[in-house]
Amino acid sequence: MANLDLSRRSFLKASVIAGVSVYIAPIGGKAFAALFEDKILTPIKWDSKDGKAKFRIDGMAKVTGGKVFARDVRARDMPHWPDQQSHAFILRATQADRSYEGFDLSLLGEELQPDRVVTAEDLVRDGVKFPAFYGEDMLLPKGKTPAYLGHAVAILIYHEFAKFRFAKDTLKFHNEIIRYGAVTGPLERDPWGTFRFVRIGGATPYDGDEFSSLKNAPVFPNMMRKHQPVWPDGVEHGKLGEQGMFYADKIQDELDHPSADWLVFDREYNTQSIDTAALEPDNANCWYDADNQALHMIVPSQGPLEVVESATEMIAAAKARFPVKQLFVHPCFTVGYGSKDHYNVPYYGLVCALYGDGKPVRFANDRYEQFQTSIKRHAFKMHYRIAVDRKTGLLQAFKGDFEANGGGRANFSPSVAMVGATAAQSVYYFPKSDLATVAIASRAIDAGSARGYGTLQSMAATEMAVDEIAEKLGMDPIDFRLKNVLKSGMKNTQGAIPAGAIRADEVMEKAKAHPIWANRAKQKAEFEAKHPGQRYGVGFACVQKDFGTGAESSFAKVEIAEDGTISLWHTGAEIGTGMSTSQALAVQKWLGKPAGDAHFGVTDWTDLPVVTSGNPYLMSQAEQDKVSANPRWSPAYASPASATNSAFYFTHSTREAARVVFMQGLWPAAMAIWTQGIGGGQASPLVVRVEDARWVDGKLSAGGLEALPFERLVKKAHELGLVTGAIVHVFNRWRWSEADFEVTGKPVRLPIDGLSVKYGSGAKPADKAKMSTKGGYHVLDRKKVYIPDVQMNNAAVTYYSAVGTLVELAVHEASGKVEVLNHHSIMECGSQLSPQLVSGQLQGGVAMGIGHALHEFLPLYEDGPGNGTWNFNRYHLPRAKDVAVWQQTGEVLPPVTETDPPKGIAEVVMIPVVGAIVNGIAHAIGHRFTDLPVTPEKIQEVLA
Amino acid sequence: MSIANKPLSMTINGKAVGPLNVPDGLMMIDFLHEYVALTGSRLGCGQGVCRACVAILDNPDGTSEEIRTCITGAHFFQGKKVRTIEGHAKLNEKGEVVELSQIQQKFLEHYSFQCGYCTPGFVNAATVLVEKLKRQPVDKDQVEETITEALNDHICRCTGYVRYYEAVKDVVMNTPGLVKGSK
């Protein structure tokens, strides 16, 4: 074993939490590069003419089979770890209606017995338990009923790979090794969360609301009775909740007793549980070095900071038995589609290490285990009642009841249920709405922040409903949509006005004119004549997906070195979406070229000491006002990476950091050059404004001035001691926090809440003295901060991007098989950071949506993946033949102007295709399905 | 049960490996990962369905074929020649990549992959296809169908396949001799 040499390895010391020094060596960082021969990130290759990257900066490592994933790493790869790698797997209960009474390993014989068995008794004795977020019974004690199928009961650790391999194979599918006692029935628990959003709009969509969540408040239940929410009684002038229920009752009454002009549409929709099927199964490789009281964790995570915080919480609870003074976390590039955000595998990995007899222990799911345990997309039951005026074709009221099956542990289920309900209006304006949602606890596997996050479920249903309503009214489905489309400035079902231009109408107009739609009747006749036994259909759906969580935060640091190198550090982690590439590109808006040196998943921000406290969603305005007096406080520290938060939210911090460097460094440097000489130099005869600044071919010009090469500007900025580095912290609660700062003696208001700057090498001694952090930064305490009021939490969402998808399909009458012949998507996403990445997200999202609509299905309970027998042989992921790989097309609406911010699209792209397929099937065979997926068996039943 | 070890030798990426003492019944993917430290062949399903683990078996007659290392025993490869993802690019003495294979280069240029977990399987499958087309070129109008048949079993969850397929088509259409009539 090599000695641990902190200085040589240059680990980044992030912080001291609860007495534990936390060190981070992010993949792509210098410390990590020192651990591995292969660098993951290569400098970005780009075309200076069009500003596009030639390939992903993580591409070289990925295409050559480099060690990119945590799963690829073994103890021998870590220079300071022991070479010997131990391995672990977990025994799980596959029945959740009876008490667990132990296990029997006699099948293993003598030779394959584990070196160490860890049970709940060990954990209780040693004070080891899950971080609070994950709930109780990390390993189930004897005598208790499993909370869910697949509940972990014991960890088996092996110090020799071959023994591990053959033992695991021997026990595979032998669920009888778990012993059970009395039948108790499944656990009955209160829901994980429940919410209700009631809105009665004003006279027009632009007038003030009579009642809404934003104006007033969401409605919460008074109590739970038999595990169901009990809502307040409606009282017109009562408490806020009572008022909300008064209006909810009014909507109900109108739907029950509609006017003669109203069509009241009533449907129940069901959508299934699915596995995100991230191809990298969950894993962790951890080492507890008792001699040095150090814990090392190699983990794939979409939120490395969450791992740090939660691991520290665990360590603190177990410190008497397992003292830890140093925690080393190595976040890696990963993929999860949400299922590696706040998931419990890192903490099982941590436990393996604690009981690993001083050896590093690798815990890596195989695919059966991955199906059995990984975070699932919520199954939803939805009951929609929608009123529409037959004469005008305008939607009048929407009452929706949503039940999300959250499974055995809460995870993000309350939030997913809420987001599903608030997204249900999709692209339409409803004058009145009452959306009640509940996330239930069940014995199913935990569901969490899987891609779509509730919105795939509710918006796909809305698109099925709207299409059917149009048919009932005898209207063209796109014309009906256009009549009711939410336009810029109208309110959502929470009473908030969505941000900026809402362009769903443009998407619909384009779809209406597209040949797939315009020629569908003719195509149907021709296709069916040519293909006896097949029924042709065209379907359309259009949705807009919110993006963000209402507490989005991140750090970014941008520096320009004297040699012209642009470096970027960011809290965001790469999860496959290409954010590392897009963020490297994002700085070029201000600096004229991309960052050549970039680091992600960074958690060391001691150069900008931001602190946080309280819950950003639940805190009172008074509390926020009080704590925000601390100039270094923010409502949130750093968000995990999700498919949809990099383009908008992460780009904001990246660009604001770059903008500070430009405005306080490069621009004044340019002015110094342009104004030098007699009479004010070349700038004197001209009007010079910063808003005229433009980068052309790596040179900066403005208003007719000499174009100055980037390198010359950088040199000048350093020479003059101007700002050459900036770290920003940002927070967004449906709008950005802003703050007043004084930078180089001048007041400036910026859409950030924390700022540190670094001055160039020629800085005056007084400025250099201010650069007192370990990284040489000057922390600029803000003078005043403007954090979005806590009331904005009730807005739930304000940022949207719209996508519409047309699908051509054929239904094979004999087999019931649906063949996707072609599809075309129209997307609105602001300004694209990287068109290649955007189109790749669209293509991948559509494929995932096709899987959801037609192929992917997991039973929730005993027959489902909790029994440990599910794999890709019976869970069909779409293949190329399923997605019209050669035929499909897509287009992106041009931005309104080039100043449009980029928008998050990685989730919305997968949603419309789901509704479009179901609507296309209706066009093909005249039957409207309401349960997903639409399988060949279901179609055969209808056609029989 | 008892673990019975046997000596195993093979050629991996042009280099002789072994003899190593390897348990009978161990799968090739475990051998690659745990015995020779080649982790680029990825475990996806462990049942031969997803093809993330595919390597290339070089036959004595000069032909090549895909082989699923998650369901093929390591001892099957006794005396055989195998290529893994780590063997495609040319490296310098320091182990740095100096030249990618044609398929790797085009995957990079086309932004073919996202998370990259399945990429080794696609590189190997596409490489086998190109080598087959060198022996048996197809008509131009059969190129798309040929690519689909060759790659359809490979699962990718991120990309929707389009950019993988376009990249392979780029290689096939622009490499002399892969399409009938092209030189």
> Can you tell me which residue has the tokens 């993802």?
B85
Tell me the C-alpha distance between A655 and A904, whole Å. 16
Residues 63-82 of B with CB under 8 A from A: none
Confidence band for A35, pLDDT divided at 50, 70 and 90: very low
Residues of chain B found within 8 Å of residue A843, distances taken between Cβ atoms: 159-163
Give the residue from chain B lying closest to A106, CA to CA.
B1
What pLDDT was estimated at residue A34?
41
Mean pLDDT of A226-254: 96
Residues 6+ apart with CB under 8 A from A599: A26, A28, A29, A41, A567, A568, A569, A570
Higher pLDDT, A300 or A142: A142
Residues in CB range of A685: below 8 A, 6 or more apart: none
**What pLDDT score was predicted for residue A547?**
77
Residue A130: pLDDT band (50, 70, 90) is: very high
Residue B75 lies in a domain: yes
pLDDT > 70 in chain A, percent: 93
Let me know if residue B13 belongs to a domain.
Answer: yes
Q: How confident is the model at residue A304 (pLDDT cuts 50, 70, 90)?
A: confident
Per-residue pLDDT, A641: 67
Q: Give the structural domain span for B159.
A: 90-176
Contact across the interface for B49 and A872, Cβ inside 8 Å: yes
Least Cα separation, residue B114 to chain A (angstroms): 5
Answer whether A278 touches B (CB < 8 Å): yes
Instruction: Please compute the mean of the pLDDT values over residues B63-68 and round it to a whole number.
Output: 98
Q: Mean per-residue pLDDT for A670-685?
A: 89
Mean pLDDT across the stretch A912-941?
A: 98
Chain B neighbors of A848, CB-CB under 8 A: 157, 160
Q: Is residue B99 part of a domain?
A: yes
- Nearest-by-Cβ selection for B26 from A165, A577, A836: A165
Interface test with A, best of B162, B168, B170, B173 (most A CBs within 10 A): B162
Q: In this structure, are residues A278 and A374 in contact, taking their beta carbons and an 8 Å threshold?
A: yes
**From CA A514, how far away is CA A247, in angstroms rounded?**
42
Chain B residue numbers with beta carbons less than 8 Å from the beta carbon of A281 are: 43
Interface test with B, best of A52, A57, A62, A836 (most B CBs within 10 A): A62
Q: B79 and B112 share a domain?
A: no
HSE-CB at A869 with a 13 A cutoff on CA atoms is 10
Minimal CA separation from A296 to chain B, in Å:
21
Q: Which among B52, B71, B87 is the end of a domain?
A: B87
Dump pLDDT digits (tens) for B86-97.
Answer: 999 999 998 888
To the nearest 10°, report the CA torsion of A385, A389, A393, A397.
-40
- A677: which residues sit within 8 A by CB, 6+ positions away? none
The rounded percent of chain B whose pLDDT value lies above 70 is 98
Q: With contacts defined as CB-CB under 8 Å, which chain A residues touch B86?
A: 64-65
- Domain with residue B70: its CATH number is 3.10.20.30
Q: How many domains does chain B have?
A: 2
Q: Are residues B81 and B111 in the same domain?
A: no
Show the CA angle centred on residue A604, arms to residues A599 and A606, nearest 5°. 130
Separation in Å, CA of A61 to nearest CA in chain B: 9
Query: CB distance A54–B109 less than 8 Å?
Result: yes
CA atoms of A610 and A349, how far apart (whole Å): 30
Q: How far apart are CA A538 and CA A355, in angstroms?
A: 58
CA quadruple A255, A257, A263, A268: dihedral sign: positive
Q: Evaluate if residue A23 carries a pLDDT over 80.
A: no
Distance CA A264, CA B154 (A): 47
Is residue B103 one of the residues assigned to a domain?
yes
The alpha carbon of residue A137 and the mean position of all alpha carbons in its chain are separated, in whole angstroms, by 27
| Better-predicted residue by pLDDT, A638 or B124 | B124
pLDDT for the residue numbered A491:
93
* A573, pLDDT greater than 90: no
- Same-domain status, B103 and B65: no
Residues B94 and B82 in one domain: no
CA-closest candidate to residue A330, choices A9, A732, A622: A9
- Of the pLDDT bands very low, low, confident and very high (cuts 50, 70, 90), residue A3 is very low
Q: What is the pLDDT of residue A9?
A: 33
Structure tokens at A225: 């009775």
Tell me the pLDDT band of A95, cut-offs 50, 70 and 90. very high
Residues B101 and B157 in one domain: yes
**By mean pLDDT, which of A6-20, A144-158, A332-346 is the weakest?**
A6-20
Q: What is the pLDDT of residue A16?
A: 57
Last residue of one domain, picked from the residues B37, B64, B87? B87
At A13, is the pLDDT very low, low, confident or very high (cuts 50, 70, 90)? very low
CB A552 within 8 A of CB A732: yes
- Residue where one domain finishes, among candidates B87, B117, B135: B87
Do B14 and B82 fall within a single domain? yes
Which residue reads 């619909």 in tokens?
A508
C-beta atoms of A60 and B108 within 8 A: yes
A854 or B182, greater pLDDT: A854
User: Closest-CA residue in chain A for B153?
Assistant: A879
CA distance A597 to A594: 9
Asked if residue B182 belongs to a domain, the reply is: no
Q: What is the pLDDT of residues A332-366, one digit of tens each?
A: 888 888 899 899 999 999 999 999 999 999 999 99
Same domain, B147 and B121: yes
Q: What are the phi and psi torsion angles at A97 (to 5°)?
A: -125, 20
Q: Does residue B99 share a domain with residue B71?
A: no
Query: Would you say residue A12 has pLDDT above 70?
Result: no
Structure-block tokens of residue A617: 């969603």
Task: Look at residue A604 in the predicted model and tell me its pLDDT.
Answer: 79
pLDDT exceeds 80 at position A21 = no
* Cα A482 to Cα A600: distance, rounded to the nearest angstrom: 42
Please tell me the distance from the alpha carbon of residue B166 to that of residue A886, in angstroms, as a whole number: 8
Would you state the structure tokens that stand for residue A635, as one six-digit string?
Answer: 């409502």
- Is residue B181 included in any domain, yes or no? no
Residue A903 pLDDT grade (very low, low, confident, very high; cuts 50, 70, 90): confident
B83 inside domain: yes
- For the record, the structure tokens of B78 come out as 């006794």
**Phi, psi at residue A112, to the nearest 5°?**
-105, 15
Mutation for testing the B interface, residue in A27, A38, A54, A64 having most B CBs under 10 Å: A64
Smallest Cβ–Cβ distance between A843 and the set B44, B123, B163 belongs to B163
Q: Are residues B59 and B97 in the same domain?
A: no
Contact list in B for residue A76 (CB cut-off 8 A) is 37
pLDDT tens sequence across A178-231: 999 999 999 999 999 999 999 999 999 999 999 999 999 999 999 999 999 999
Mutate to test the interface with A, among B151, B154, B161, B169 (most CBs of A within 10 A): B161
If asked whether residues B96 and B170 sit together in one domain, one would say yes
Residue with tokens 């900036």: A726
Residue B2: list chain A partners with CB under 8 A.
111
Residue among A64, A111, A276 whose CB faces B1 most closely: A111
Q: Is the pLDDT of residue A321 over 90?
A: yes
How near does any CA of chain B get to the CA of A546, in Å? 21
- Compute φ and ψ for A739, nearest 5 degrees: -155, 155
Shared domain for B113 and B156, answered yes or no, is yes
CATH at B165 = 1.10.150.120
Helix (H, G, I), strand (E, B) or coil at B15: strand
Give B39 to chain A, closest Cα distance, Å.
Answer: 6
Spatial neighbors of A900 by CB under 8 A, at least 6 apart, are: A500, A830, A831
Mean model confidence pLDDT for chain A: 91
Query: SS3 letters for A441-457?
Result: CCCCCCECCCCCCCHHH
Confidence of residue A514 (pLDDT cuts 50, 70, 90): very high
Is residue B183 assigned to a domain? no
Query: Average of pLDDT values for A868-895?
Result: 97
The answer, for A500 touching chain B at a CB cutoff of 8 Å, is: no
- Residues A669 and A791: beta-carbon distance below 8 Å: no
Please report residues of B whose CB lies closer than 8 A to that of A825. Answer: none
Q: Which long-range contacts (CB under 8 A, 24 or more apart) does B74-78 make?
A: B74/B8, B74/B22, B74/B26, B74/B27, B74/B28, B74/B30, B74/B31, B74/B35, B75/B6, B75/B8, B75/B22, B75/B24, B75/B26, B76/B28, B77/B8, B77/B10, B77/B28, B78/B8, B78/B9, B78/B10
**Residue whose tokens read 């990445």:** A837
Residue A20 has pLDDT above 80, yes or no: no
Average pLDDT over residues B55-68: 98
Asked if pLDDT for residue A330 goes beyond 90, the answer is no
Whether residue B116 is predicted with pLDDT greater than 80 in this model: the reply is yes
Cβ pairs bridging A and B (under 8 Å): 197
* Statement to judge: residues B97 and B167 lie in one domain: yes
